[in-house]
Amino acid sequence: MAKSKLDWQTGDANDRQAPLSLENVHVAYNTRRGKVRAIRGVTIDLHAGESLALIGESGSGKSTLGLAIVRLLPDTAETSPGVITYRRDGREVNVLQLKPGELRAFRWSECAMVFQAALNAFNPVLKVWAQALDTAKAHGWHDKEAVRRRLVELLEFVQLDPKRVIDAYPHELSGGMRQRVLIALALLLNPQILILDEPTTALDIITQRTIIKLLRELKEEQHFTMIFISHDLAIAAELADRVATMYAGRVVELGTSDDIFYRPRHPYTLGLIRAVPTVTGGFEQLFSIPGSPPDLVDLPKGCKFHPRCAFASDRCKQEEPELEEVSPGHTAACWHWHEVEAELQRNPLHRGALNLTDVIAVDVEVA
Ligand SMILES: Nc1ncnc2c1ncn2[C@@H]1O[C@H](COP(=O)(O)OP(=O)(O)O)[C@@H](O)[C@H]1O
Ligand code: SF4
Ligand SMILES: [Mg+2]
């Protein structure tokens, strides 16, 4: 197996449980229109073995956050201030300070990402086996037989027939098969963390089910630590231990899956949940969040959700709230979360509304 070339520091023993910590991370894209403030101060610890879902409308910064963690943002992006700490076996590195050689060791061997729309990102002239071998060699792993054994094992794990797939070109595989190959390739170097960006979005419903089942096995049997990016709440509800709602580049609510889907305290999370159509709810009750996300070059003052929020007060127009604890382990950034709680007592959410089997449209784009 390839040796990691990271320049490890001795870590803080108290933080050993968190393989990844983000502290006040900011990302801005420099564009002709000005700075697009895609991430504005995200602080979050990823727990070992958990699956954390990032949810939110298109443009809320989910992919940017994933790309910032694996340092694959374009040159036009600025990532400061902020610290991203990666830990393994009581040692740690600051990801934002890794040098190019170290970064290669970090991606794949420590923290791998399957990109949004990656189904088309395969090199069309390389067979699956050649892609795997290239990846392994780039990380100093030259034992072809061992690479092949590991690839076969992983292809079997993602329920593909290695004989059929290993010598196939990408175009010879269906979308679902390619997505499974991508997951297998991401696992080739045994990373501790896997980031999946919209892994089911381009797939039909039946194939989505297969991928979800596979991801659940990864989570439950292999105890993988995953960041799972999805604008599809039903899939997040099915896979996540914890959920972070993102809005305009910030985490505005964070809690267990049950906290977020059954006891949301942020009006935006509540809006997202009420916008999911259910068999029991019927389309006539379908709610949609009014307006559209803010211009990240020219953000409104105060809470960035205030122009769209039914709970907004004058204070919301002036001051942006920070995350505060609303119950143990559950935080929300809203001045009026008590009112959201009261609203839910008057109009409770239907339990089970986010059960996948109950959801008509599995791929709901809330806009
Ligand atoms: N390369 C880029 N250059 C400029 N702006 C970008 C770039 N990539 C993303 N953005 C902007 O950053 C914001 C966040 O995008 P993204 O992280 O892709 O959101 P999400 O994944 O939640 O849909 C959006 O406003 C998007 O237009
Ligand atoms: S702080 Fe105000 S505007 Fe923002 S989500 Fe809460 S109630 Fe709405
Ligand atoms: Mg995205």
Averages of pLDDT over runs of 10 residues in the chain (367 residues) are: 66 71 97 97 95 95 95 94 92 92 86 77 86 86 93 90 94 87 88 90 80 84 87 87 97 96 96 76 67 96 97 98 97 98 90 48 37
Are 218 and 224 spatial neighbours (Cβ–Cβ below 8 Å)?
A: yes
List, in order of start, the domains of the chain with CATH numbers: 9-240 (3.40.50.300), 247-358 (no CATH)
Residues contacting ligand 1 via CB (< 6 Å): 29, 31, 36, 38, 56, 58-64, 74, 76, 296
Q: How many CB atoms lie within 10 A of CB 166?
A: 18
SS3 content of the chain, % helix, strand, coil (to 5): 35, 20, 40
pTM over 0.85: yes
Taking the C-alpha atoms of residue 138 and residue 135, their distance in angstroms, rounded to an integer, is 5
Q: Is the CB of 323 under 6 A from ligand 2?
A: no
Q: How far is the CA of 361 from the centre of ligand 2 (A)?
A: 28
Q: What is the SS3 assignment for 235?
A: helix
Q: Environment class of residue 193 by beta-carbon count within 10 Å: exposed (0-12), middle (13-18) or buried (19+)?
A: buried
Strand partners, 114: 196
pLDDT at 14: 57
**Residue 96 class from Cβ within 10 Å (0-12 exposed, 13-18 middle, 19+ buried)?**
middle
Question: How buried is residue 103: exposed, middle or buried, by Cβ count under 10 Å (0-12/13-18/19+)?
Answer: middle
